[in-house]
Structure 1
């Protein structure tokens, strides 16, 4: 069985004094999928079908990550504003 949660409300009760996001904070995540980079998608007239052309590096890998506690992420998270650095630790 899979639960798909689109959105959730904040829990009721007194506000907790959790520290907010600070730059350089370590965030734990779970790897959901690892796949090869995207390939060119050509339409019938040999034109790119994507709205934004994006060419992934040939040696790149695409990771899908799940952050169990999304409250530790910055509120203004955007790919243009932040850089992500990964550190892998064996289980």
Structure 2
């Protein structure tokens, strides 16, 4: 499962100095939409999460299901890829 965070980030599109990946669109099912995480403070006043993050204030967290994971790149990693979304009504 992959969480995609949408918020105040750089506009989506092809960067002028980077070539396009040429990947085909992959259909996904939207399972859940929620507000961004809020700070969680433990009993001693410290962050309880192992990886502290600050989600964008106006962001939304989407949970997507990719029915056929073989369509994903073999080296799929959050550090190597960015995701562009296109929404279509059913």
TM range (shorter): 0.7 to 0.9
Indicate yes or no: 2:85 matched with 1:81.
Answer: no
* Higher RCO by CA contacts (8 Å cutoff, separation 6 or greater): 2
Question: Which segments of structure 1 move beyond 3 Å, counting only runs of 4 or more?
Answer: none
Instruction: Quote the Cα distance in structure 2 between the aligned partners of 1:56 and 1:24.
Output: 28
**Please, what TM-score do these two structures have when normalized by structure 2?**
0.74
Query: Partner of 1:71: helix, strand, or coil?
Result: helix
Q: Give the secondary structure class of the aligned counterpart of 1:89.
A: coil
Please report how far the alpha carbon of residue 23 of structure 1 lies from its aligned counterpart in structure 2 after TM superposition: 4.0
Take 1:23 and 1:84, find their aligned partners in 2: how far apart are those partners? 13
Residue 76 of structure 1 and its aligned partner are, at CA, apart by 1.1
The structure with the largest strand share of the pair is 2
> Aligned Cα RMSD in Å?
1.1
- 1:44-63 map, 5 Å: 44-63=43-62
